[in-house]
Structure 1
Amino acid sequence: MPHRVRFVKDLEEIPLSVEERERLLRVSEKFPFFCTSHYLRLINFNDPSDPLRRVVVPDEGELEPWGRVDPSNEANYTVMEGVQHKYDSTVLVLASNKCAGLCRYCFRKRLFLTDEKREERLRDVKALVEYLRGHPEVTNVILSGGDALMLSTSRLRELISEVAKVPHVRFIRLGTRILSYWPERILNDPELLEVLKKYSLPERRIYVVTHFDHPREITPEAVRACHLLFKAGVQILNQCPMISGVNDDPGVLAELFRQLASMGVSPYYVFQCRPTVGNKPYAVPIERGYQIFETARGRVSGVAKRARFVMSHAMGKIEIVAMTREHVIFKFHRAARNQDTGKVLVYRRNPQAYWLDDYTELVEEIPLLDERPI
């Protein structure tokens, strides 16, 4: 790539005590550690509970038996290598199998696991385009991974230009964590900005869906990179999971929403941490998460409170919409089966629930009030 960053993959290169490093080596043997020098400089290693440290430094709790390798059953929706088609209008492409850093709570860490690393990325662009042309219901394509912006600029140009030729694809999304881990990827590559400017048009936009977890990740470099993306005609959204010890605090989450809005970045989704293998120390129970989320939203203006609190379940994107003294209420924000979209699920509360499957007492299931065509 035409710009340089130092990738750190050895725990010995970060300031840990000898005893702590030895303990954490057991974790990194199963769940690898890697990060950029840019992000490591943001961490206060004198603070064991520093939130950015929590993001990238291994935790012994990751070895606790918990979760599944593919908790959202992405394999069920994989239609060809590196391509998923879960929602009728959206195709998700695992364009890359690389990231600039491995978030400890990654839901797709099957791509990086030492003992069962999987190769799922797209290789055949022509086959992707043929699939899209054969599915006129598809209006948008997500290039993700891994991280879409870990691709070379020439590979991105190839992917975007070929997808853009499909007439019924109205917009393209690029899923990336680069703005947090490596904003220089954007700052130092004018060719990338030219590619984005060429294909982000008034009638067919490119969206960058970025991932800031904590206000301290929004560095001056990240702000400048966002500004350049806006100048290239790109729209920017932010999504992040709620992570224990990182942003499970109403004040932190509210400040994240404020900073994003002040930059012109729309808060988009806050995700329930997926029950992926190794994720137990990072997960927040759903009901506590909902209280944190709503408290944070209550502290910001409308522009900053556009995020939704959702979980990416195998059945669809399910929004946590309300809670009473006895019940928690979910709604299918988008369902894998179209007839389920908009359906409301009312469950008896379970403060220990981390995923929809942990709720056992369904009180009521309410479809859209009028299922006749509108």
Structure 2
Amino acid sequence: MMKGTYITDIKEIPYFQSMPESEQKILLNVTDRFPFRASKHYLSLIDWNNPKDPVKRIIFPDPRELDASGSPDPSLEKNYTVQHGLQHKYPQTALLLLSDVCGGICRFCFRKRLFMDSKRQTVRDYMPALGYVRDHPEVTDVLLTGGDPLILSTSRLKEVIGKIMEIDHIGVIRIGTKMLVYNPFRITGDPELISLIKEVSAEGKKIYIMAHINHPNEISSESVKAIRMLQQAGVAVVNQTPIIEGVNNDQTTMADLFRKLSFMGISPYYVFQCRPTIGNYIYSVPVEQSFHIFQNAFKKCSGLAKRARFIMSHSTGKIEVVGVTERNIFMRYHQAAHPDDYDKFLVSRSNPQAHWLDDYEPFYLETAGTVKEWFFEQEQVYSRTAAQ
């Protein structure tokens, strides 16, 4: 019953049917703007009697989504689109948007413009995109994303991956997916997919699954089975998650997630600050609060469970938050769209209300002398303010 079965009309959900008509009407207004989609498997993980169930929070619409501001493209992906469906922001990695469909739609999705009424941004004819990759030897890995590439048929994936395999300078093929928890039957019920992965691994290329697991409750026994099958076929599975209000915005939950992933041989890879996408503000936690959650979770974990970095995927690059004090926040470029930015260290006065880099006034410091001079100036400002 659950295998491959998706619900796109919220009216089919018994919980929705039990709601007062006035609340139903509001939620239908939400899904008219920000579509709903979920697998029956994923819905079965929800405790509908718990108003704060984290899995429900991930997938079920919230009326406040309509009240929030934001950008359809907060990281300005359009600026790095070099071919239809292909982004090239960082020299080594190219992103190929293969699908505009997922196994479910996270309410806080940063690329929800793909699911709304907009021009198609994914690619059907991928050959021009791969021609670009072939002509750029600095690209060493291709990230298949969307949407979710595993929503596509295995025959389609085999076709695309086969062409990528022919490009000598590509050593890694990444697949960004939440299907491990949204619909693990996609993996466990498809021997052809496992065979494809084994074939790629045998030929000297490496497939990485970039999993999207936000909370330990998402990991069902079927998910564990799917993960093991992928790993045994030669896949390296890593995980990335944003910090989401009402889902994982506490140190205990985050530590439990890190530990559970490490027990399954999955490396925590990135922990993201929720992007300021349209409708996402209610899911966002202030940057400095997110960092403290992240750091305190690390205190509860072994070294293998704390390999993630806390990142903002800004339009200029991946900004890593490396420290927060009472007065300052410290950041650096983990990845940079412009090569010169790798040498820049960002320091700003603390702003507990900031939800994104643009809410700060960063200073770009490139030498120890500049850092010393800036801190001297800030100390004078702080002393004058305290005296008033």
TM-score higher than 0.5: yes
State the Cα deviation string for residues 162-221 of structure 1 (Å, max 9, x = none).
Answer: 011101111110000000100000000000010111012474211011111000111110
Residue 381 of structure 2 corresponds to which residue in structure 1?
A: none
Q: Where do 1:100-111 residues align within 5 Å?
A: 100-111=103-114
Residue 380 of structure 2 corresponds to which residue in structure 1?
A: none
Q: Where do 1:1-374 residues align within 5 Å?
A: 4-14=3-13, 15-16=15-16, 17-19=19-21, 20-113=23-116, 116-201=117-202, 203-360=204-361, 362-366=362-366
What 5-or-longer segments of structure 2 have no aligned partner? 370-388
Three-state SS of the structure 1 residue aligned to 2:167 is coil
Which of structure 1's runs of 4+ aligned residues deviate more than 6 A?
Answer: none
Three-state SS of the structure 2 residue aligned to 1:47 is coil
Amino acid in structure 2 at the alignment position of 1:118 = K
Partner Cα distance (1:117, 1:189) in 2: 32
Partner Cα distance (1:261, 1:275) in 2: 29
- Report how far residue 264 of structure 1 moved: 0.3
Residue 372 of structure 1 corresponds to which residue in structure 2?
A: none
- Report how far residue 342 of structure 1 moved: 4.5
Partner Cα distance (1:349, 1:180) in 2: 37
Amino acid in structure 2 at the alignment position of 1:226 = I
Partner Cα distance (1:48, 1:368) in 2: 51
Verify the 8 A CA contact 2:68 2:280 in the aligned structure 1: no
The structure richer in helix per residue is 2
Verify the 8 A CA contact 2:275 2:356 in the aligned structure 1: yes
Verify the 8 A CA contact 1:174 1:207 in the aligned structure 2: yes
Partner Cα distance (1:60, 1:167) in 2: 49
Partner Cα distance (2:201, 2:112) in 1: 31
State the Cα deviation string for residues 318-352 of structure 1 (Å, max 9, x = none).
Answer: 10110111000111001001121252100111111
Over the residues paired in the alignment, what is the CA RMSD in angstroms? 1.5
Verify the 8 A CA contact 1:87 1:335 in the aligned structure 2: yes
What 5-or-longer segments of structure 1 have no aligned partner? 370-374
Amino acid in structure 2 at the alignment position of 1:313 = H
* Greater CA drift, 15-24 or 49-58: 15-24
Verify the 8 A CA contact 1:240 1:269 in the aligned structure 2: yes
Verify the 8 A CA contact 1:333 1:342 in the aligned structure 2: no
State the Cα deviation string for residues 208-260 of structure 1 (Å, max 9, x = none).
Answer: 11111000111110110010001110100000111000000100000000100
State the Cα deviation string for residues 1-58 of structure 1 (Å, max 9, x = none).
Answer: xx94221122222213133322211111111111000010111111111111110111
| TM-score, normalised via structure 2 length | 0.91
Partner Cα distance (2:263, 2:68) in 1: 41
Amino acid in structure 2 at the alignment position of 1:272 = Q
User: Kindly, what percent of the aligned residue pairs are identical?
Assistant: 48
Verify the 8 A CA contact 1:92 1:143 in the aligned structure 2: yes
| TM-score, normalised via structure 1 length | 0.94
